[in-house]
Amino acid sequence: MSVCSVRNRKRLASDNPKFLIPNPQSLIPLLAMPLKTHLDDEPTLNLTAMLDVMFLLIIFFALGTRFVDDERKIGLRVPEVVDRGTLTAAPARREVNVYRDGTITLDRQTVSLEQLTTRLAAARRQYNDLGVLVRGDARGEFQNVAVALAACKEAGIRELGITVRSMPPEESATDSRALLRR
């Protein structure tokens, strides 16, 4: 590069501020990281809302206890009774068993169909929501179980249940097929 071209460039750079080459010393403050010169304030906990709630609770309980004291000052003596529990306890479910030969039992006592209806009707008059659990022999005729269910219905029993024995899944598939073949 010739001396003439270097001089022209310097002249062009000095004449036009757009082409000024910055001084490397002037770039140092721009590249340096700013340092903290003061300490930050420590964080504070605002207790205003908590104090408001606390005062509201104090006022609520103070007024509530005052009403209890006012009730005690009423000149009235209430009658006293001995706590013996409920007047009548709910009876246990009655059990009706229907055997293979058609024999019917009510709570392990053998009864006829008419006796079953009258005893259940009498028990229902004492306790309206009486429940009855009907259990039938799996090898017996279902007609016998259906007759016992009809007798319970005739006595006005609304809560009827019927029981079955649950079997493991692998036994139930083979036993169900065997029962259907019979």
Q: Which domains does the chain have, with CATH numbers?
A: 94-181 (3.30.420.270)
Residue 127: the pLDDT is: 86
Q: Which of 19-23, 156-160, 164-168 has the lowest mean pLDDT?
A: 19-23
In whole angstroms, give the CA distance from residue 54 to residue 56.
5
| E strand spans, 67-151 | 94-98, 104-106, 109-111, 131-136
Residue 40: the pLDDT is: 76
Report CA Rg, the chain: 48
pTM: 0.47
Q: What is the pLDDT of residues 28-37, one digit of tens each?
A: 555 556 667 7
Q: What is the pLDDT of residues 55-110, one digit of tens each?
A: 999 998 888 776 665 666 666 676 777 766 556 666 788 899 999 898 999 998 99
In whole angstroms, give the CA distance from residue 106 to residue 133.
10
181 or 48, higher pLDDT: 48
Please check the confidence at residue 158 and state whether its pLDDT lies above 70. Answer: yes
With a CB cutoff of 8 Å and minimum separation 6, the contacts of 163 are 133, 134, 135
181 or 170, higher pLDDT: 170
